[in-house]
A and B are shown apart, each in its own frame.
Chain A
Amino acid sequence: MTDRPDIRAAVARRLQQRHAAERRFRLYGMVAIGVAMAFLALLLGRIIEQGHSAFVTHSITLDVPIDAARIDPAYPQGANYDQMVATALAARLNADIQNPEVARDLRDLLSPDMGFQILSRVREDPSLIGQTVTVEAPVGDSADLFFKGEIDRATPQDQRVLSDRQIGWLDQIEAQGLVRAHFNWGLFTRSDSTQPETAGLLGAIVGSALMLMVTALLSIPIGVMAAVYLEEFAPKNRLTETIEININNLAAVPSIIYGLLGLAVFIGWMGLPRSSPLVGGIVLSLMAMPTVIIATRASLKAVPPSIRDAALALGASRTQTVFAHVLPLALPGVMTGAIISMAHALGETAPLLMIGMVSFVPGVPESIVSASSALPTQIFIWENAAEAAFHERTAAAILVLLVFMVIMNAVAIVLRRRLERRW
């Protein structure tokens, strides 16, 4: 202990400054995290606020008499079922179906899906012609928005999609108990459609899954093997250094460039089918590979050299050392890197635009070479659609995509926790 009070005082003063600096730094950190959280909450909140309504939809149940006079039994698809549905609805609403304007306004409230359902029932069982069938179908997109309360009655008639007369009918339909609100399973069981009320994500989800499968099968084995070779076997010289720098650069190349490459090479030169998950998967695997290589090399580097020494000193060959000891220890890191790069690939949009995965594909892709869309491009397509009802579906599709990404990242975290070993 010193008995010089001036030194003590100086230390005390300095100590106060040091504590203040520490408090300040912690405050900065908390502010930074707070800002980040606020932005995240804003983003998520906005998407959920816009998209949550798309998970609910309204269906209408109608008894529709199938007018035998209007159907040619030899060619049932030629009949106008929409008109029969509109007639049935008009009967319940006491509307004048003979008036073409009334008929059009009534049809607007319904989804063409109802007509399709009747057609398929009739084709299955022609004896239904002349009888009355009960069908349940989504209401039209504008009617759906109205039931969700998103169309304001106070808006002047010429500025909203529904006329006063249509709103009156919808009130009557609701009063008669024909309408039912339920979870929108169609969002997951149907594919893209020009009608918002029957548009779903199934085709896009399957397309994305097929594409990710191609990406994973290509980029993970090739990337891991390349990383193992570069890290464990390749001599460290000018050439491997150049390769390493280029791999790091590739990870930073704008993704649209990969799309152009895919368009020129895989579609243009190799003649692979455009808009297909195969081409999309190859392009995305080119993008994912540098990330996989970098993550694998980092986790190989993290394996303690003592393990390599131990195996080599026992007389294990290079290959045995790597595959029996080093790679298993690096596996948690490898898998985390692989899954996170797959999650990136899942959300990638720009290269898919270039290779034509933004086309309208109403069905579910049957194989990796059939035309398909993908989740991010489906979002892009819907965002550009004119109907207001597509906008809530856009937000819903974003939520679905986010859920898939969160699941993948969670799997990565769980795998890392499970497999991580201490040595």
Chain B
Amino acid sequence: MDAPTIDTRPSLGTAARSAGGEAGPVKIRTRDVSVFYGDKQALNSVSLDMADRAVTALIGPSGCGKSTFLRCINRMNDTIQGARVDGVIELDGEDINVRSVDPVALRARVGMVFQRPNPFPKSIFENVAYGPRIHGLTSSRSELQDVVEQALRRAGLWNEVADRLEQSGSSLSGGQQQRLVIARAIAVDPEVILMDEPCSALDPIATARIEELIDELRQQYCIVIVTHSMAQAARVSQQTAFFHMGQIVEIGRTDDLFTNPKEQRTLDYITGRFG
């Protein structure tokens, strides 16, 4: 079964926010993905295409499987004892679940940002430098410094931390920590960035900054974001998938899905009748 083809071009309604770039071709293609934690099925036959240079939002009530789905894309479910993933997940047309794909190499291509900011208890510089260092992306100290600076600039954090790179990453505020973590993810030059409720621990101002950042990053990356905030999904994404009970109920262009949902359950959820 094929997923419905979705037009992920930025809608006119969000034109002001998405000045740069058309959505690209399909970056991640998933078919009939099911996930089991032991005997419990967390995800049931999910098929979803995610476009390059676009933001795909996954919404749905707690426990509906959206984070589980997200963790399939960089194979973080491998780290959970007893987790089993069925179905096909392709990145640029290559199946990522075959034996020949090293999850460590995959995660260099697919970065991830978590719900709570989780900087390493090291300096700001070391936080960002760690990824390039383990992957051997730089050959000299000055090159590494350039990479760190570029990543921090793109994460919009450079001006705030340029003079205190040696301070501990945990000395930053929550919003800054989350941007530091985003800088850490983009420092290894990934193709996809997965975000698992990146703003749920942040105040509205920090949230707004992260959303701006997501909008900028969209021009280079395929971004998949899990969010509980429907307003956030509407603001930052071009495509939205509504998950419920481990299944996708509806996929659509974000403005269509929020203004004109086809499914009753979607309507109930986005109007706050459950969830």
Contacts and interface: CB of A to CB of B under 8 A. Distances in A.
Interface of A: 235-236, 304, 306-317, 320, 324-325, 329, 421-423
Contacts of B118: 304, 306-307, 309-310
A315 B76 contact: no
A64 to B, nearest CB: 70
A315 B81 contact: no
B104 A315 contact: yes
A235 B83 CA distance: 13
Given A309-B114, A329-B121, A315 B135 contact: yes
A422 B76 CA distance: 26
Interface of B: 74, 76, 79, 81, 104-108, 111-112, 114, 116, 118-121, 130-131, 134-135, 170, 181, 184-185, 188
Contacts of B188: 314-315
A235 B79 CA distance: 11
Contact of B120 (A317, A320, A325): A325
Contacts of A304: 118
Contact of B121 (A235, A313, A314, A423): A423
B116 A314 contact: no
A311 B170 contact: no
Question: Chain A CB within 10 Å — which of B74, B120, B188 has the most?
Answer: B120
A310 B104 contact: no
A236 B81 contact: yes
A315 B119 CA distance: 15
B84 to A, nearest CB: 14
B184 to A, nearest CB: 7
B134 A309 contact: no
Main secondary structure, interface of A, reads helix
23 contacts: A304-B118, A307-B118, A308-B79, A309-B76, A309-B79, A310-B120, A310-B181, A310-B184, A312-B76, A312-B79, A312-B107, A314-B107, A314-B111, A314-B130, A314-B131, A314-B185, A315-B104, A315-B106, A315-B131, A316-B130, A324-B134, A423-B121, A423-B170
Contacts of B81: 235-236
Contacts of B114: 306, 309-310, 313
Question: Chain B CB within 10 Å — which of A309, A310, A313, A421 has the most?
Answer: A313
A314 B111 CA distance: 6
A392 to B, nearest CB: 52
A266 B118 CA distance: 49
B134 A314 contact: yes
A306 B170 CA distance: 13
A118 B181 CA distance: 78
- 7 pairs of A and B residues whose beta carbons are closest in the complex: A306-B118, A313-B112, A315-B108, A315-B107, A310-B118, A314-B131, A423-B121
Contacts of B107: 312-315
A316 B111 CA distance: 12
Given A310-B118, A313-B112, A313-B114, 5 more contacts: A306-B118, A309-B114, A312-B107, A315-B108, A423-B170
A306 B116 contact: yes
Contacts of A307: 118, 120-121
Contact of B134 (A235, A316, A422): A316
A316 B74 CA distance: 13
Given A235-B81, A310-B114, A423-B170, A315 B134 contact: yes
A194 B84 CA distance: 72
Contacts of B116: 306
Contacts of B74: 313
A423 B79 CA distance: 22
Contacts of A312: 76, 79, 107
A320 B106 CA distance: 16
Nearest to A320: B134
Contacts of B131: 314-315
B104 A313 contact: no
A283 B248 CA distance: 61
A422 B106 CA distance: 31
B77 to A, nearest CB: 11
Contacts of A423: 121, 170
A115 to B, nearest CB: 66
Contacts of B130: 311, 314, 316, 324
Contacts of B121: 307, 329, 421-423
Given A235-B81, A310-B114, A320-B134, A315 B105 contact: yes
Given A309-B114, A310-B114, A317 B170 contact: no
A315 B185 CA distance: 10
Nearest to B127: A310
A324 B126 CA distance: 12
A331 to B, nearest CB: 12
Contacts of A325: 120
Contacts of B104: 315-317
A314 B135 CA distance: 9
A422 B108 contact: no
B134 to A, nearest CB: 5
B243 to A, nearest CB: 21
A316 B105 CA distance: 9
Contacts of A308: 79
A100 to B, nearest CB: 80
A235 B135 CA distance: 27
A315 B111 CA distance: 8
A9 to B, nearest CB: 45
A325 B126 CA distance: 12
Contacts of B105: 315
Nearest to A317: B104
A329 B121 CA distance: 8
B168 to A, nearest CB: 9
Given A306-B114, A423-B170, A314 B184 contact: yes
